[in-house]
Amino acid sequence: MKRQKKPIVYQRKLINKFFLALKIIAVVVVGGLFLIFAALLTLTRNFPRPEKFQESIVAQSTKIYDRTGKIILYEIAGEEKRTVISLDKIPTPLIEAVIATEDRNFYKHKGIDVKSVVRAALYDLKIKKVAQGGSTISQQLIRSYFLTNKKSIERKTKEIILALEMERRYSKNQILEWYFNLIPFGSNIYGVQEASRALFHKDPQDLSLAQCATIAALIRAPSLYWPYISEENKNRLLNRKNLVLDNMVKEGYISDAQAQEAKNEVIQFSTEPSSVLRAPHFVMFIKDYLEKKYGSEYLTGKGLKVITTLDYNIQQIAEKTVREKAAQLAYLKVGNAALVAINPKNGELLAMVGSKDFWATSSPLGCTPGVSCKFDPKFNAAVALRQPGSSFKPIVYIKSFEMGYTPNTILEDTFTEFNPRCPADGSAKTDIYGTPCYHPHNYDGRFKGPITLRSALAESRNVPAVKTLKFVGIENAIAQAEKMGITTLTDKNRYGLSLVLGGGEVKLLEMVYAFGIFANDGLKTPMNFILKIEDNEGNILEQKNEWSYRLIEPKYVRAMNDILSDDIARSPIFGIHSSLYVPGYTTAVKTGTTQNNIDGWCIGYTPSLVAGVWVGNNDNSPMAQAALNVAAPIWNEFMRQVLPRFPSENFLKP
């Protein structure tokens, strides 16, 4: 029996229903796609641009180095301590350790590893919460730099889209380089360069296999593995290090024997990076200079490399000498000390010690009970204002040479009242207008009568010095000091004839620099404490100044050096071969002691090195003895240890 064909009208109805269903499906699909597009648009509206990686927006810390450019003295960092390095500076074992542990299919996928994602998703379903991400290195980089660690569908979507886009635009090596420079390693440490320095005080290329595995082990959870937090954290890190080595074996990067050898290596962690501060007073001096010139924000973000003039070996000698000798001199009520050393040929600051112990507490170090030797260990006495005592005399005498005096000029070392309105016998304290009378005495309490200028300066006799200043004039003396680098004698109306005996406050740093002109045969050079400053691209922002000009005629400065280096001429007061004498070297030296032994100075030099020492108490309490016995021993010990590092030179004869 033949089936009857359905009416054409019925067939048309079926066709219409079919097309209606297609339309509905199309609307649903288009609507769904639109909703998906709208959702993606919402998610990606504030997406960062992947090309930002190429726009040098990565904050890098500024590092202050010694003169070799190898020893880091200090790091000026903001919230992130980072140093960007190229991929070729990262050792292959470290790259392999990270890939084997964090993303073994890195070179195969295009931004996401589907197998890892599925595996992580199944695990998350099993425990009923978002725990594993199956993130690739690209995803980790995106999350670390652009997003957050908060686990959510929205963040994961953004992460995947950006990772795919980044892998489309950039090479695998470029992504690896960014990854190794940007990811966090714990505390405020970012990037493998800082992690390597923090954990091992090494650059990455100097790491052993075991150390590479240790750094790779940190990446998964820095707060859980950071070894300085607790012993438990340290043990976790070392255990995970062994897991990293096993992963490297599985991926064929190393053999079982190599892994076992690395597991057996004893990992020695360095001290925590936040405690690294070498040459502290010098560093704070440099930091202050940089902040004033470049600004704090610039320093914490631009990754400057600051190579200073400091000789770290000499600095260590200076710190040890000041610390130990100050403690030995505590019985003389010495509470603090400072030292500065300069190369007079180029004005380079080689060492700066601002107190006897930067790391000490404010309680006296090595002081006997009842001794007033309070000091602030962080305060930099090398740049503090203190009265220089007789160490200021050579500045006045050199001006007198220019004005006609000679070493053979005869001066009268006799009791003298310098206030013409006061009785000549010194019986009054003030004149009729209330102005103090002024009749200084010598260190030994005696007067020698007629004396050559040479002997007067060598023996540091006060009355002839005051008479010399009266001849020179206070304004001329101050002008001479300013030409030699003294910047603090600004209120000229304050100073009287006592200026030559140290009546004006100066800085140890500037006094040492001024004496450097004597050491350099009268040539003035700039004071240099920076050799070079580079930005993070190697552009030079600043270099040391290199110039010199003759400030003092050779015949005058050579006469000065001849006087100050004459051990016989100074022996009537200081004794033969005193603390001013350094065996095997001709050293020109001047001491200075202020009233009541409040300040003690010793500044001495050869043609190759100038060093100055200040001793005293920050609270201005007096010491028990004068500079020869408190400042000179520190200076002498320092010079004995450091001078062999320099050529043996003698002063040119007048």
The answer to whether residues 244 and 318 belong to one domain is no
The answer to whether residues 536 and 653 belong to one domain is yes
Residue 6: both structure tokens together: 């359905």
**Residue 181 is inside which H or E element, if any?**
helix 172-182
Would 448 be classed as within a structural domain? no
CA 369 – CA 500 distance, rounded (Å): 36
Q: Which of 227, 247, 275 is the last residue of a domain?
A: 275
- Does 370 have pLDDT greater than 50? no
Task: Find the mean pLDDT for residues 403-428.
Answer: 94
In this prediction, residue 79 carries a pLDDT of 66
CA 582 – CA 602 distance, rounded (Å): 13
Cα–Cα nearest to 381, from 72, 639, 612, 630: 612
Helix runs in 190-330, H state only? 191-200, 209-218, 222-225, 231-250, 256-264, 280-294, 296-301, 312-328
Would 28 be classed as within a structural domain? no
Helix (H, G, I), strand (E, B) or coil at 156: helix
The answer to whether residues 529 and 636 belong to one domain is yes
Asked if 222 and 184 touch (Cβ cutoff 8 Å), the reply is: yes
Please, which contacts does 433-441 make with residues 24 or more away whose CB atoms are closer than 8 Å?
Answer: 438/496, 438/497, 438/498, 439/415, 440/466, 440/498, 440/501
The answer to whether residues 83 and 174 belong to one domain is yes
In this prediction, residue 372 carries a pLDDT of 47
The answer to whether residues 325 and 261 belong to one domain is no
CA 385 – CA 90 distance, rounded (Å): 49
CATH number at residue 612: 3.40.710.10
Would 378 be classed as within a structural domain? yes
Burial of residue 76 (CB within 10 Å: 0-12, 13-18, 19+) is buried
Residues 633-645 pLDDT 10s: 999 999 999 999 9
Residue 410: how many CA atoms within 13 Å on its side-chain side? Answer: 3
The pLDDT confidence band at residue 369, using thresholds 50, 70 and 90, is very low
Residues facing residue 340 across a β-bridge: 352, 612
- Does 131 have pLDDT greater than 50? no
- Does 552 have pLDDT greater than 90? yes
Residues 438-457 pLDDT 10s: 999 998 889 999 999 999 99
- Residue 268 CB partners (closer than 8 Å, separation 6+): 200
Residues facing residue 342 across a β-bridge: 349, 610
- Does 13 have pLDDT greater than 80? no
CA 440 – CA 282 distance, rounded (Å): 38
Residue 387: both structure tokens together: 């009265």
The percent of residues in the chain predicted with pLDDT above 70, rounded, is: 83
The edge-to-edge listing of strands for the beta sheet with 348-353 is 348-353, 336-343, 610-616, 599-605, 588-593
The answer to whether residues 316 and 270 belong to one domain is no
Strands 189-190 and 81-82: parallel
In this prediction, residue 53 carries a pLDDT of 55
The answer to whether residues 101 and 177 belong to one domain is yes
Residues 511-536 pLDDT 10s: 999 999 999 999 999 999 999 999 88
In this prediction, residue 65 carries a pLDDT of 95
CA dihedral 288, 289, 295, 300 (to 10 degrees): -70
Q: Quote the mean pLDDT of the chain.
A: 86
Residue 276: both structure tokens together: 């690294």
Would 327 be classed as within a structural domain? yes
Asked if 633 and 627 touch (Cβ cutoff 8 Å), the reply is: no
Asked if 558 and 653 touch (Cβ cutoff 8 Å), the reply is: yes
Cα 400 from chain centroid (whole Å): 41
The answer to whether residues 121 and 221 belong to one domain is yes
Asked if 452 and 474 touch (Cβ cutoff 8 Å), the reply is: no
The answer to whether residues 227 and 105 belong to one domain is yes
Q: Which of 257, 275, 293 is the last residue of a domain?
A: 275
Helix (H, G, I), strand (E, B) or coil at 199: helix
Identify the domain containing residue 107 by its residue range.
65-275
Would 242 be classed as within a structural domain? yes
The pLDDT confidence band at residue 577, using thresholds 50, 70 and 90, is confident
- Does 51 have pLDDT greater than 60? no
CATH number at residue 123: 1.10.3810.10
The answer to whether residues 99 and 193 belong to one domain is yes
Residues 455-513 pLDDT 10s: 999 999 999 999 999 999 999 999 999 999 999 999 888 899 999 999 999 999 999 99
Task: Find the mean pLDDT for residues 138-164.
Answer: 69
In this prediction, residue 110 carries a pLDDT of 82
Would 128 be classed as within a structural domain? yes
Task: Find the mean pLDDT for residues 57-85.
Answer: 84
Buried b (16+ CB within 10 A) or exposed e, 353-385: bbbbbbebeeebbbbeeebebebebebbbbbbe
Number of domains making up the chain: 2
In this prediction, residue 156 carries a pLDDT of 66
Residues facing residue 449 across a β-bridge: 413
- Does 11 have pLDDT greater than 90? no
The packing angle between helices 256-264 and 231-250, to 10°, is 170
The answer to whether residues 248 and 320 belong to one domain is no
Would 8 be classed as within a structural domain? no
In this prediction, residue 366 carries a pLDDT of 45
If one counts every other C-beta atom within 10 angstroms of the C-beta of residue 59, the result is 17
For 419-438, the three-class secondary structure string (H helix, E strand, C coil) is: CCCCCCCCCCCECCCCCECC
Q: How many residues does the chain have?
A: 654
In this prediction, residue 189 carries a pLDDT of 84
Separation in Å, CA 327 to CA 334, 357, 611, 629? 8, 10, 20, 14
Would 459 be classed as within a structural domain? no
Asked if 72 and 63 touch (Cβ cutoff 8 Å), the reply is: yes
The answer to whether residues 340 and 234 belong to one domain is no
Task: Find the mean pLDDT for residues 111-131.
Answer: 61
Q: Lowest mean pLDDT: which of 22-36, 75-89, 397-411?
A: 22-36
Q: Which of 275, 302, 324 is the last residue of a domain?
A: 275
Of 160-174, 178-192, 249-263, where does the model show the most confidence?
249-263
In this prediction, residue 622 carries a pLDDT of 92
Of 55-69, 285-299, 300-314, 340-354, where does the model show the most confidence?
340-354
